[in-house]
Amino acid sequence: MLIKNISTLLGKELDYISETNIQIQNGKFKQIQPNIKPNVKEEFIDCQGLLLIPGFINAHTHIGDSIGKDVTLDSSVDKKIHPVFGAKSKILKNTPPENLTDFMKNTCHSMIRKGITTFVDFREGGLDGVLLLKKTLSEIPIRSIILGRVDFYQNPTEIKKNLPISKEKSKELPLILQKCDGIGISGANENSNSVLNHYSKTSKIRAIHSSETKQSVSRSKKMTGKSETIRALSLKPHFLVHMTHASKNDLHVAAKKIRGIVICPRANSSLAEGIPDITLMQNAGCTLALGTDNVMINSPDMFREMDYIWKVTMGIHKKRINPKDILKMSTVNGGKILKKDIGIIETGKIADCIFLNKHALDLEPMHDPYASIVHRASESTIKAVMIGGKIVHGKL
């Protein structure tokens, strides 16, 4: 396929190119330059008036709870989403698999229409949970990275005694990892150092929630004398999720040991838990990506996520932030943290991308493409979505 006369955001810095041609072969960007001539029988499309941007990477989701939208709105964080006794856990356990599948499918289709080409899911439910999600995705073209987990959680006494994972659950772990892309751990406050060290020896992607609430930070120090983030690093994670209440020191330590942090600002706000300090995180040297978190409390919409964190951060700190930095969190940075050839328009990378209509009512005139995408674009401005070189939504 040859895409002609299109504007694009190119490379790691999302450099704006007003007009170029892009050749796509075998699901990847083969050539990106003006005046490319189509090969014999090669399909070519004139995309004058469109802007091509990298597909969004929703770097943290829990789509299994799509059936529980907006339940327990007035409850505490633990009562809503605690992995053992929270309402979410009870809903997932008591809902027939076929019902969960229907609503997970709805969420996946919603993400595609909103330009999300890859999502990273923390999947509960052990091996059965992973297999159910894989079955759900079997006929949906969205790219997924599934991080499973063993349904094993320890109480404070077990953590203080540093008890290991049970033999039964230890045997389950490799079976789960055979079927998914890595592990997504609930948090350090549900696992002893011995268990986290056990998980750290796995070879696939490792990630963990950390310092999401003031209560969780306080609980870790009271229980172990160490910060929640320092304990989470015992997992040797490739990335941490949330870090909303991590200290400056925690962030500096984390920046040296992990690939990055996935923040979920709208979810944190929905839980009345505050806003991640992206300036503090960036100053510590952390690479940041964005996620929409639980579908139970938040819609899977990266346009809303970018708009929210951009404006709220400037409102709180009274300091301008380049919207390009926010757009990177939804695209380039996600690919960087995951070490995948996604989230970027560059020769040799996977052709996951969004075609935006520059003449859409909400975008024209587009004086600053980064600002326009971050706080004016929406599902309605998308002309088409491509995943792996194939149009999966809309048409050109």
- pLDDT of the residue at 73: 62
Is the pLDDT at 85 greater than 60? The verdict is: no
Is the pLDDT at 80 greater than 60? The verdict is: no
Q: Which of 55-69, 215-229, 321-335 bottoms out in mean pLDDT, i.e. has the lowest?
A: 55-69
pLDDT above 90 covers what percent of the chain?
A: 87
How far does Cα 373 stand from its chain's mean position?
Answer: 18
The CATH number of 2-55+343-394 is which of 2.60.40.1180, 2.30.40.10, 1.10.3720.10, 3.30.2130.10? 2.30.40.10
The amino acid occupying position 345 is I
- pLDDT of the residue at 71: 74
pLDDT band at 37 (very low <50, low <70, confident <90, very high): confident
* pLDDT tens digits for range 189-223: 999 999 999 999 999 999 999 999 999 999 999 99
Mean pLDDT of the chain: 94
pLDDT band at 147 (very low <50, low <70, confident <90, very high): very high
- pLDDT of the residue at 179: 98
Q: List the domain boundaries for the chain.
A: 2-55+343-394, 56-338
- Token digits for 279? 């300036």
- Token digits for 32? 């990106």
pLDDT band at 234 (very low <50, low <70, confident <90, very high): very high
Domains 2-55+343-394 and 56-338 agree in fold: no
Q: Residue 349: name the closest of 41, 2, 108, 10 by CA.
A: 10
Q: What would the mean pLDDT of 113-122 be, rounded to a whole number?
A: 98
Is the pLDDT at 288 greater than 80? The verdict is: yes
Q: In the chain, which ranges are E strands?
A: 2-10, 15-25, 28-32, 44-46, 50-54, 56-62, 116-122, 143-148, 182-185, 205-210, 239-242, 260-263, 288-290, 293-294, 353-357, 382-387, 390-394
- pLDDT of the residue at 121: 98
pLDDT band at 335 (very low <50, low <70, confident <90, very high): very high
CA–CA dist 322, 50 (Å, integer): 23
- pLDDT of the residue at 61: 98
- pLDDT of the residue at 66: 85
Q: What would the mean pLDDT of 348-353 be, rounded to a whole number?
A: 98
- pLDDT of the residue at 79: 57
* pLDDT tens digits for range 304-316: 999 999 999 999 9
- pLDDT of the residue at 150: 96
- pLDDT of the residue at 95: 73
Q: Angle, nearest 10°, between helix axes 126-137 and 97-113?
A: 50
The model's pTM: 0.95
Fold classified for 56-338: TIM Barrel (3.20.20)
User: What residues contact 322, with CB distance under 8 A and at least 6 apart?
Assistant: 370
pLDDT band at 97 (very low <50, low <70, confident <90, very high): confident
Q: Could you tell me if 237 and 258 are in contact, meaning their C-beta atoms sit under 8 angstroms apart?
A: yes
pLDDT above 70 covers what percent of the chain?
A: 95
**Share of the chain residues as helix, strand and coil, in percent rounded to the nearest 5:** 40, 25, 35
